[in-house]
Amino acid sequence: MGMVLAVHGGAGSIPEELVASRRDGLEQALATGWQRLQQGEDALAAVVAAVEVMESLPQFNAGYGSTLTSSGTVEMDAGVMQGKGLHVGAVATISRVAHPIRLAVEVLHSPHILLAGAGAEAFAQSRNMPLIAPDDLISRRRRRMWEAWDHRPVDVMADDRGKTIQTDKDTVGAIALDSAGHVAAATSTGGMSWKLPGRVGDSPLVGAGFYADDALGAVSTTGWGETIARSLLGYRTVAGLEQFTPEESARRALQFLDESVQGSAGLILIRRDGEFTAAWNSAMMGYAVQREGEAPVIHQ
């Protein structure tokens, strides 16, 4: 069993002008996380380092580059999980932390599993994490998109399967298997474009946007958050590893998502023995994977 790291940059239609930069970002995130594993750090450190890279880049919908709410503000969600001990940390609707995934790790090391809004930001200060001005997280591209938005309600916008997508529902994430055989998962997002302030999707919800269990494997999902959460896509996919290969478990989980709640999503999945798969029923999904002893694979 060798080490494995995989990252994704979101599922759905990707604007042509972002294809190259997203590929570069996936490559950078993968290399950063992989270096952590090679240095002997654990799976949690690797997935957090990889996600932090994507949170720093404006071409992704997480951290700097997050989509805006209907009020023109940033509200970010993130979650992490360790397969050893099933430890979870997550944050929701935060606007003043540069790296939500780093704050999620701090929550993981607290008595709680999910903190939101002002309480989460106060917790960040108690852990010596600096707060920044909310406008510092708004990229020029996102500001231009919000200014050009026609202010149609989100709930009348279609998904990306056969219809024109009007709103981003991307998420970034990472999963890893370290040299000790432990797995971890991390997911971070700015959420759905033009969402109502206070909306929380699947990304900070354990069993929906992410899940990790050393006895089975780890997953990070991306896509239409409300349907991912309703179907518990993350847990459903990992639990399927008790009976099926990663490919079959992912296929069955996405089929259930489609048939039960008409959802669209993508996911990356590692089994405890290192077998990896990526799957989606959306238009596409960008991901990258590195296996010990092999060259990295980048799909965009």
Extract the tokens encoding 156.
Answer: 């009348």
Query: What pLDDT, on the 0 to 100 scale, is given for residue 158?
Result: 44
- Structural contact between residues 37 and 296, judged by C-beta atoms closer than 8 angstroms: no
Q: How confident is the model at residue 165 (pLDDT cuts 50, 70, 90)?
A: very low
| 89-145 pLDDT per residue, tens | 999 999 999 999 999 999 999 999 999 999 999 999 999 999 999 999 988 888 888
Average pLDDT over every residue of 142-160: 65
Query: What pLDDT, on the 0 to 100 scale, is given for residue 91?
Result: 98
Query: What pLDDT, on the 0 to 100 scale, is given for residue 300?
Result: 81
Average pLDDT over every residue of 34-45: 98
Query: What pLDDT, on the 0 to 100 scale, is given for residue 163?
Result: 37
Q: pLDDT at residue 156 above 50?
A: no
Q: pLDDT at residue 152 above 70?
A: no
Average pLDDT over every residue of 294-298: 95
Q: pLDDT at residue 247 above 60?
A: yes
Residue of 67, 69, 171, 277 with catalytic role: 171
Query: What pLDDT, on the 0 to 100 scale, is given for residue 153?
Result: 59
Least confident of 64-68, 139-143, 174-178, 187-191: 139-143
Query: What pLDDT, on the 0 to 100 scale, is given for residue 58?
Result: 93
**Smallest Cα–Cα separation from 25: which of 286, 295, 294, 292?**
286
Residue 117, sorted as left (phi over 0), alpha (psi -120 to 50) or beta, turns out to be left
The C-alpha atoms of residue 298 and residue 300 are separated, in whole angstroms, by: 7
Dihedral angle of Cα 43, 49, 55, 57, to the nearest 10 degrees: -130
The C-alpha atoms of residue 195 and residue 180 are separated, in whole angstroms, by: 41
Q: pLDDT at residue 256 above 50?
A: yes
Question: Residue 77: CB partners within 8 Å, gap ≥ 6?
Answer: 90, 91, 92, 93, 94, 100, 188, 189, 191, 200, 201, 203, 204, 209
Sketch out the chain's domains with CATH numbers. Answer: 4-299 (3.60.20.30)
Query: What pLDDT, on the 0 to 100 scale, is given for residue 19?
Result: 85
Query: What pLDDT, on the 0 to 100 scale, is given for residue 169?
Result: 56
Average pLDDT over every residue of 253-257: 98
Q: pLDDT at residue 160 above 60?
A: no
**Residue % of the chain over a pLDDT of 70:** 93
171 counts as catalytic? yes
| 271-287 pLDDT per residue, tens | 999 999 999 998 889 99
What 3-state class would DSSP assign to 12? Answer: coil
**Residue % of the chain over a pLDDT of 90:** 81
Query: What pLDDT, on the 0 to 100 scale, is given for residue 154?
Result: 56
Mean pLDDT of the chain: 92
Least confident of 140-144, 173-177, 235-239: 140-144
- Is the pTM higher than 0.75? The answer reads yes
Average pLDDT over every residue of 238-264: 97
Query: What pLDDT, on the 0 to 100 scale, is given for residue 157?
Result: 42
Q: Report the 10 Å Cβ neighbour count for 33.
A: 30
Average pLDDT over every residue of 35-59: 97
